[in-house]
Amino acid sequence: MDISLQEALLGFKRTFKHLDGHVVTVESKEGQVVQPFSWKILPGEGMPIRGTNDFGELHIKMLVNFPKDLTER
C-alpha cells in the first residue's frame, strides 16, 4: 500500500475493496510511525483455510513515498 510521508508520520485510514467485494479498513494508530517496507497484518482477511470456516492473515507491505523536494509547507 502506498502512503505519503505525512501519512506515515501522522497516521492514516484507508479502505479498499477485497477480492470478495467486502470493504477492508487499514489504519495506523495515533502516534505510530509507519516504517518504509514494514508490514500490516490483518487477521481473518486472508485466504480461506482449507477444511475450516476460518480465514488466514492478509499481509500488506507499506510503501512510504518520500517527497523529491521539501518546501516550507
**Which DSSP category does 52 fall into?**
S
pLDDT-derived band of residue 3, with 50, 70 and 90 as boundaries?
A: very high
Check residue 51 and give its pLDDT: 96
For 27-65, write each residue's pLDDT tens digit.
998 889 999 999 999 999 999 999 999 999 999 999 999
Phi, psi of 32 (to 5 degrees): -90, 125
Check residue 71 and give its pLDDT: 81
Per-residue CA distances from 5 to 34, 65, 67, 69, 70 (Å): 9, 6, 7, 12, 11
Pick one of 3.30.70.20, 3.90.1150.10, 2.40.50.140, 2.60.260.20 as the CATH number of 2-65. Answer: 2.60.260.20
Q: How many residues does the chain have?
A: 73
Radius of gyration of the chain (CA): 15
